[in-house]
Structure 1
Amino acid sequence: MTRFIAVVSGKGGVGKTTTSINLGVALKSLGKDCAVLDGNLTTPDVGLHLGVPNLPVTLHDVLEGRKSVINATYSHASGLKIIPADISFKALKKLSLKNLNNLFKGLKGTSEIVIIDCGAGLSKDVQSIMKFADEILIVTNPELTAVTNALKTIKIAEENNITTLGIILNRVKGIKGELSIKNVEAMIGHPVIGTIPETDDVRRSFNAKHPLVYYYPKSKASIAFKKLASGLIGENHEEDIEEKVGLFKSILLKIGLRK
């Protein structure tokens, strides 16, 4: 049984695609067969993030009925599968949503988890794709406008009987003026299930065209993504504990209290 999770946001620029890709890699690192579908059909970013903006077969070919979804599926070095969309203006002009049902039928059974990186906002395209999700994750930043726009997305999900798993608070700097977790939960009415700290490692990994979790696995943000992924599959993330135990053992070795 394939689990479809849509990653959505009320506005652009909150880090939705970065979250989709890194959550996918984190799930793969936990042994889950995972794919990321670029559901942003007008301004797709998944291929750009991974340094493969132009591929011979894309999601648009599947939607036009020329290729199967298997033909449009590619593997990253991390083991994550991606189904990228076409970035060309030509593909945008020919965009049709009539084959969405066949697309998602074709995806069933191909992976344990399919993460749908939806477009920002609540356009017709976004809503059409979101309806095929079993659950949604809301990505937002700790600022008033981002959180307010997220409320509208949740409302659409509720109208379509889609479960909201929770809020991912991204690019958290811990500075004065940011909304706290309590503020965000009170405004949205759903729990914050992940907080991703702001770090330059995200920019560096993007420039290297690799997911953060793959390129900088020990980054604070990577650890946060792994913790989030663990929670989604009902496991405890023990990386922090293991690192502390390892450090303690090394100290004991140095002072001669352990062999």
Structure 2
Amino acid sequence: MQDQAASLRRLTARAGRAPSFAFVGSEKAGVSTVVTELAQGLAHAGHRPLVVDCTLGQVLCRRLGVPTTATLESRMTHPGGLDEMMATTRHGVQLVNLYARPEERALFSAQLWLRLGSEFAALERDTSLLLVDVPSMLTDPVPASVADNIVLVLSPAADSITTAYANIKRLAGYGRQRFNVLVNRARHLEEARELFTRLSAVTSEFLAVSLRWVGFVPADNAVRRSHTLHRPLQEAFPDSEAAIAFSQLAAVMPQWDSPDIARTDTGFMDLLIAASRDWAEAEGASLR
């Protein structure tokens, strides 16, 4: 299995691929909103962002105001290509739905893996950055573990720091040591800084990891109104405080790229499926 996976990855590898950023947070942290709005800001700035949805429920389609798509898991039972898993907004943000349960990803045939991996590699060639909305680390840690960069999304919600610490600890078990921290829905800068300081204090006491502050987004009722309209915030309410913050963060987001290890040429989908097979084998071994 390892030899086959290595051969497939070599076939679809390419140099200079776009950096990937996995966004991780608690259920109430607003991760999907952060992903879509940063992608929108990147597109406005002239970048070519690719949003990768690894979560159940097609939330990102609603946030971006595009039709729902096929998922990666559906390709196992319904023939079709990557184009059926994609949508593009009128502002140039591309979305691809790579949702599949980890145990299903592990069962992908070599033929299907090679075909979709090759199509995805071609898509990556035309992309500036990949923004990945990942599922709960408790149920599926694989998408976050294979991304180049981790962005922890904090919020003032009661469980935010507890969940962030648990996510850091789990990802540290996969060898991840560097974490970008973005605070969302903060009332003001002081509150955002306080949340970051509290998380830093907890992690520095128990874990050998590095946290980097990258900014914050203020709490803004315009975000909820944009959700109701099924339109991105920066399109519906471009002068709102949160929209301006997202635009400013998107302008510097490429500078957040600082992976734990040197970036390989292997594409994100190939890493995702290969790691899912490793995960399934490890989970199976732990149950025996």
Band the TM-score falls in, shorter-chain normalisation:
0.7 to 0.9
1:6 corresponds to 2:19: no
Note the C-alpha offset of 1:97: 1.4
Overall identity of the aligned pairs, in %: 22
Deviations 1:54-101 (A, max 9, x none): 44x333334657333243221112211112468xxxx98x98212496
Larger radius of gyration: 1
Name the counterpart of 2:181.
167
Does the CA contact (< 8 Å) of 1:168 and 1:193 recur in 2? yes
Q: Equivalent residues in 2 for 1:164-243 (5 A)? A: 164-174=178-188, 179-189=194-204, 190-234=211-255
C-alpha contact (below 8 Å) 1:64/1:96 kept by paired residues: no
Name structure 2 gaps, 5 residues minimum: 1-16, 205-210, 257-288
Does structure 2 conserve the Cα–Cα contact (< 8 Å) formed by 1:6 and 1:130?
yes
Is 30-39 or 59-68 further displaced after alignment? 59-68
Match of 1:97 in 2: 105
Residues 231 and 177 of structure 1: is their aligned pair in 2 closer, same or farther, counting only changes over 3 Å?
closer
- Structure in which a larger fraction of residues adopt helix: 2
Is residue 73 of structure 1 aligned with residue 86 of structure 2?
yes
Name which of 36, 42, 50 aligns with 2:64.
50
Per-residue deviation, 1:168: 1.1
2:130 match = 114
| Structure 1 unaligned blocks of 5 or more | 236-259
TM-score where L is the length of structure 2: 0.67
Contact 1:20 1:115 in 2 (8 A): yes
CA contact (8 A) 1:60 1:95 kept: no
Does the C-alpha gap of structure 1 residues 167 and 85 become closer, same or farther in structure 2, counting only changes over 3 Å?
A: same
* Deviation for aligned residue 1:176: 10
Report the counterpart of residue 3 of structure 2 in structure 1. none
SS of residue matched to 1:18: helix
C-alpha distance after superposition, 1:137-169 (max 9, x if no partner): 011113452112101212232332346341111
Q: Work out whether residues 154 and 164 of structure 1, in 8 Å CA contact, stay in contact via their aligned partners in 2.
A: no
2:157 corresponds to 1:139: no
Match of 1:247 in 2: none
Counterpart position of 1:238: none
Change (3 A) 1:71 1:165: same
**CA pair 137-50 structure 1, distance change in 2 beyond 3 A:** same
Letter in 2 for 1:186: A
Other-structure match for 1:25: 40
**Structure 1 position 36 matched with structure 2 position 51:** yes
For the aligned residue pairs, the C-alpha RMSD in angstroms reads 3.1
1:35, 1:81 within 8 Å by CA — same for their partners in 2? yes
SS in 1 for 2:159: helix
Scaled by the length of structure 1, what TM-score is found? 0.74
- The equivalent residue for 1:255 is none
User: Does structure 1 retain, via aligned residues, the 8 Å contact 2:66–2:89?
Assistant: no
Question: RCO higher in 1 or 2 (8 Å CA, sep ≥ 6)?
Answer: 2
Secondary structure in structure 2 of the residue aligned to 1:115: strand
Q: Using the TM superposition, give the Cα deviation of residue 183 of structure 1 relative to its aligned residue in structure 2, in angstroms.
A: 2.9
Q: Secondary structure at the match of 2:255?
A: coil
Structure 1 residues 16 and 156, CA gap change in structure 2 (3 angstroms)? same
Alpha-carbon distance between aligned partners in 2 of 1:62 and 1:27, rounded to the nearest angstrom: 30
